[in-house]
Structures are given as structure tokens and as C-alpha cells.
Amino acid sequence: MTFNVQNITIANHPELAAAVETAAQETGKHDGIDPFSEQFLLGLRDERLNHQHWFIESDGKVEAVAASDGSSAELFVVPGARQEGRGTALFDAVAPTPVWAHGNFAGAQALAKAKDLRITRHLLVMAIEGEALKTAAQKPDTELLVANYTQSVERFGKEHVDQQWLKANNEAFSWHPEQGGWDMERLHRGMEPAWFDEKDVIFFWDVPANAEETTKESTEKTLPNMAGFHWTKWHDETEEGFGEVYVVGLADAYRGRRLGGPLLNAGLARMAEKGADRVILYVEADNGPAVKAYERLGFEIAENHVVYETSDIPGKD
């Protein structure tokens, strides 16, 4: 079959953005996995992200959508329009941009085989729930000051907190294509979504928890460094709600001090405090030590997400 693939910036068309969001929600409910990641959902509305979109519709109903940020792409076909070539048509439209396959379902695998694609990135979703979560959601074992974003701003001032958070993030993720290299505008943009809660961001400050209080009224020299942070996320897509280990990072000077575990515990405790009986996290499949550490804590693999690329891109081995 031949399809009319339309290329457009959906963020400039609110009604179409709403239709795509509805199609994504229905597809996610059917598949059990969201077809678009958070950034690509935001790209349907946020012109600053400069996402390009391709879509196929019939009788005014969206049947398939692809989106690209220039370095990667995501696409989905609604359940009732599958196995007729729409996915292939959209893949051809975005090629040779690497494409995410969320869930790596049979349809994506069949397309990859037909197009001689290869997996170049494998991302796992791991989950912890029930008694395992209750055991892991404990008070962090650390002598450092543990404070959420609201408490930290009240004590040290917003400017210092934001600067320290940005510094710790960029040091922790200097290697990461999406999370690293942020500026202050990008950090503040990350705090814009409706789900963001200042109390869900936990910081470790390099000052003893029982030390004489240092505040924003103190001299700049006495303000402490941030050792690390655990940015959690609360999902309310389901009636029960669940938590996510959104981002965990340590500043360079604090690596090797066994703070990762306590940071994780602090965030899990916050999610349990909000009523979560399930918490998820994303981790690269080839990060063996991290995967094993999470498994020891009680996490299990729940989803697989992969990036497919063509095998004949110049410079690719």
C-alpha cells in the first residue's frame, strides 16, 4: 500500500498535537508501554525543542506518527492500523536517523529484519515493588545533610542550589547524550512539567546534618557543595500511581564514597512516603555493575527499549 506521509511541525498545530497525544495514550494503554518518551511527548507542544514530525491519517484520524529531534527518532502505529506498511513508510521518511523501538515488540523486530537494521543502544526499565520496595525505602545511611529542593532553597538560596545542582548534573553526566551538557535554561525547563514537585528532588549537601546551620544570609564562602542528588518522578497515569528513579547523580569529588546507595534509598523513601507500591528506573543494558546492583536491591527487568540503525551508515562499523 502507498501512504500519504505528511511532514509538519506539530507543535505549531495544537489540535493535531492533541490528536497525536490521544493516539499515543490509546496505543500505550493497548501495548502496556508508552510509544513516545517524555521528551518526544513534550515536543508535540514545545516549539523550543524544534522537533519535526511525520504522520499518516485517514478520515481525519491519526493512524501513525514519527518524530525526530535531529539525533534520534521515535514512531508508532495505532493498534488498528498495523501490519499494512505504515511503520515502514514512516521509518523510510525519517531514515537514516536512529529510531527508538519502545518495548521492541514483534512488529519492530520484523521491520528491523526487513531493513537489515542493528541495535546500537539497549535501555532497560527495571521495577521494584511490594515488600522489596518497603525494604529498600529506608532512611539513607549518611552523615551528610539530606534536604529536598524546597528545604535547600530556604536554607541556601535558589541561586546557589540551582548552580550546585547544574554542576553536579553535568559532572555526573558528561558522557550522556541527553542528560549532560545542560545550561541553566535547560535545568529550569526540566522543572516545568506539571508532574514536577520540588519535594521530590533530594540533595546530599557536604555539611554534617547536625552542624550549626548555614544559611543564604551567611557569607558565600560558607555555603556548602552539593555531593549528589536524586530527582524522583511521580506518575499519576494509573489510579494507584507509582514512582520513578528519574535521575541520580554524584559530583566528581564525591564518587567512590559509597553515596550512590544512600541516594537511592532516600529517593525510594520519598516515593514510598507518597504512597508508591512500585518504583521504576531506566538503565543502560550494557552497564552490568549497575544492573546487578539494582537487582541486589530488589529491582527486576520490566521493559526493553532499543535503538535501531541502518547497517550501512558511513563511519559505522
How far CA 121 is from CA of 112, 114, 201, 284, in Å, comes to: 14, 19, 28, 8
Distance between CA 84 and CA 230 in Å, rounded? 44
Known binding residue 75? Answer is yes
Known binding residue 161? Answer is no
Known binding residue 29? Answer is no
Known binding residue 281? Answer is no
* CA atoms in the 13 A half-sphere facing the CB of 66: 24
Known binding residue 248? Answer is yes
Known binding residue 21? Answer is no
| The three grid cell numbers given for residue 68, joined into one nine-digit string | 525526530
Kindly give the interhelix angle for 288-297 and 260-273, rounded to the nearest 10 degrees: 50
Known binding residue 212? Answer is no
| The three grid cell numbers given for residue 196, joined into one nine-digit string | 514536577
Known binding residue 290? Answer is yes
Known binding residue 314? Answer is no
Amino acid at position 181, single letter: G
Distance between CA 151 and CA 157 in Å, rounded? 10
DSSP string across 57-98: EETTEEEEEEEE-SS-EEEEE-GGG-SSSHHHHHHHHHTTS-
Known binding residue 65? Answer is no
Known binding residue 7? Answer is no
Known binding residue 264? Answer is no
CB-based contacts of 62, cutoff 8 Å, min separation 6: 16, 19, 20, 22, 23, 55, 56, 78
Nearest alpha-carbon partner for 245 in 293, 308, 205: 293
Preceding amide of 96 cis, omega within 30: yes
Known binding residue 292? Answer is yes
Known binding residue 148? Answer is no
Known binding residue 76? Answer is yes
Other beta carbons within 10 angstroms of residue 209's beta carbon come to: 12
Distance between CA 31 and CA 24 in Å, rounded? 10
| The three grid cell numbers given for residue 289, joined into one nine-digit string | 555493575
- Inter-residue contact 168 to 204 (CB < 8 Å): no
Annotated binding residues, written as ranges, equal 38, 75-77, 178, 233, 244, 248-250, 282, 287-292
Annotated binding residues for acetyl-CoA, written as ranges, equal 75-77, 248-250, 287-292
